[in-house]
């Protein structure tokens, strides 16, 4: 089954197809490399049944520059602690399902498909999805929280990595942009500014599970993974005109003309 990577989706969402294409060529195809970026993932934390949680929307700045919360709410059984993880993301679906792959609306139709040998060589790993109501009975979450409470740092690191690296919420629940949203607090010259960090890249209710994601986790943001021309099954483009443009641009940096696949229309 092919492994696909779609790049520069932000430019697609802005309607800048030519800029997206040029960025894809200049930063991926010509150097033959994929760059890791930070993605927010979440560590499930078990709560006491009587625990209260500060409502981020109720934060206020006091006269002395400190902050306080005007509202506390009953904590859910499992809270989600944000973790920034450097990764390279792929789509793990057959070509025949690409036509009905709805995340195309978010990422665009400009991508690259890789061989199975590339997948195996770099140990690209599928993501498993969880549902919020099931987390308090999730064995991995339970074991992770036991390690947390017992101060077993080695086991905690191992389980934390397993959860945040290759598990993901099935959908974007409203709590990500409300109760679980972290606050960025900055003090400058005696003035305190507060910014709530929301998962604004996706709308509430976004179906992450439909992405059928696979990943490479890197040590730090900006790390690169190199590929060869032999690792490529095809370059995926939205139109034949874009395909011709890509081939022309690669004439001096590739030893062969790549196979071009026109992304099927939804």
Token readout for 194 is: 């507060």
Which whole-number Å values give the CA distances from 84 to 42, 57, 128, 143, 161, in the listed order?
A: 8, 22, 18, 21, 11
The Cα 202–Cα 207 span in angstroms is: 9
Q: How far apart are the first and last CA of the chain?
A: 20
Please state, for a pLDDT cut of 90, what percent of the chain lies above it: 71
Closest-CA residue to 111 (of 242, 237, 245)? 237
Asked if residue 112 lies in contact with residue 4, where contact means CB atoms within 8 angstroms, the answer is: yes
For tokens 């040998």, the residue is 117
The Cα 115–Cα 27 span in angstroms is: 20
Domain boundaries, the chain: 3-262
Asked if residue 62 lies in contact with residue 55, where contact means CB atoms within 8 angstroms, the answer is: no
pLDDT for res 234:
98
- Label the pairing between strands 128-130 and 167-169: parallel
Token readout for 137 is: 């009975």
Radius of gyration of the chain (CA): 22
pLDDT for res 177:
84
The whole-number mean pLDDT for each consecutive block of 10 residues of the chain, a chain of 266 residues, reads 94 97 98 95 88 90 87 90 94 94 94 97 96 90 93 92 95 87 81 82 92 97 96 98 98 96 86
Asked if residue 227 lies in contact with residue 254, where contact means CB atoms within 8 angstroms, the answer is: no
Closest-CA residue to 21 (of 236, 234, 233)? 236
Query: Measured on CA atoms in the order 245, 249, 252, 255, is the torsion positive or negative?
Result: negative
The Cα 86–Cα 219 span in angstroms is: 7
Q: What is the pLDDT of residues 65-105, one digit of tens each?
A: 788 999 999 888 898 888 999 999 999 999 999 999 999 99
Dihedral over alpha carbons 164, 165, 166, 168 (to 10 degrees): 40
Q: What is the pLDDT of residues 221-247, one digit of tens each?
A: 999 999 999 999 999 999 999 999 999
E strand or H helix at 257: none
Token readout for 197 is: 């960090």
């Amino acid at each position: 089954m092919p492994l696909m990577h779609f790049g520069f989706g932000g430019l697609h969402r802005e309607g800048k197809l030519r800029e997206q294409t040029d960025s894809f060529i200049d930063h991926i195809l010509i150097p033959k490399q994929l760059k890791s970026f930070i993605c927010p993932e979440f560590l499930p934390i078990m709560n006491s049944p009587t625990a209260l949680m500060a409502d981020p929307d109720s934060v206020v700045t006091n006269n002395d520059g400190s902050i306080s919360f005007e509202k506390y709410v009953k904590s859910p059984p499992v809270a989600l602690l944000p973790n920034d993880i450097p990764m390279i993301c792929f789509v793990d679906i057959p070509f025949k399902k690409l036509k009905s792959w709805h995340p195309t609306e978010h990422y665009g139709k400009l991508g690259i498909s890789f061989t199975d040998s590339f997948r195996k060589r770099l140990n690209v790993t599928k993501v498993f999805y969880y549902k919020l109501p099931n987390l308090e009975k999730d064995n991995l979450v339970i074991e992770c929280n036991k390690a947390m409470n017992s101060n077993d740092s080695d086991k905690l690191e191992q389980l934390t990595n397993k959860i945040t690296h290759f598990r993901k919420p099935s959908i974007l629940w409203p709590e990500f942009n409300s109760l679980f949203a972290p606050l960025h607090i900055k003090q400058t010259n005696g003035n305190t500014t507060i910014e709530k960090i929301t998962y604004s890249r996706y709308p509430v209710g976004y179906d992450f599970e439909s992405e059928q994601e696979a990943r490479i986790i890197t040590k730090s943001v900006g790390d690169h993974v190199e590929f060869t021309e032999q690792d490529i099954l095809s370059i995926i483009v939205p139109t034949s005109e874009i395909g011709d443009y890509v081939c022309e641009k690669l004439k001096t940096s590739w030893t062969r003309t790549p196979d071009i696949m026109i992304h099927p229309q939804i």
